[in-house]
Amino acid sequence: MEKHHFEQARLWLVGAQHLFQYTTEGSDKYAVAVAMAVHAILKANDALTYKFMNMTARRHDEARRLFEDLIKSNLVPAGYASYKQLVQDAITNKAKAEYRGAYFSKNDAEDMIKKADKFVVMAGEVVGSWS
């Protein structure tokens, strides 16, 4: 099941990258790319928590705590402890991008996509799904 979550994370990331790079839509594309990158991070986190805890966050705001639990339990290497901030950034931007209609610049989208790429690669290495 963790591979299912991971594959969705990878596809969310691919979609965000494609939208950012190849579409000529207006500035709203940046908010959508941010939302897609957020989903990539959250689904990658689901892959981790499902693999090691046989559960996923019931609410998005639980995702950071679950990731921290993985680190504390040495299920995810301690070298990735700083990635908890990537999860927090995703949670913070989720509501802004999806519900509040906040403005996201090209730089904002590029930054969130880079964070998502970093998190998805890490999750893939830990889960064993990155190809």
41: tokens are: 């991070």
Report if pTM > 0.85: yes
Q: What are the angstrom distances between the C-alpha of 48 and each of 6, 10, 36?
A: 8, 13, 19
Q: Which domain holds residue 23?
A: 2-127
- Count structural domains, the chain: 1
Per-residue pLDDT of the chain (131 residues), as tens digits, is: 788 999 999 999 999 999 999 888 787 899 999 999 999 999 999 999 999 999 999 998 899 999 999 999 999 999 999 999 999 999 999 989 888 788 999 999 999 999 999 999 999 999 886 54
Q: What is the CATH number of the domain that holds 99?
A: 1.20.120.330
Q: What are the angstrom distances between the C-alpha of 123 and each of 3, 12, 104, 110, 118?
A: 10, 14, 26, 20, 9
Q: What's the distance, CA 95 to chain centroid? A: 14
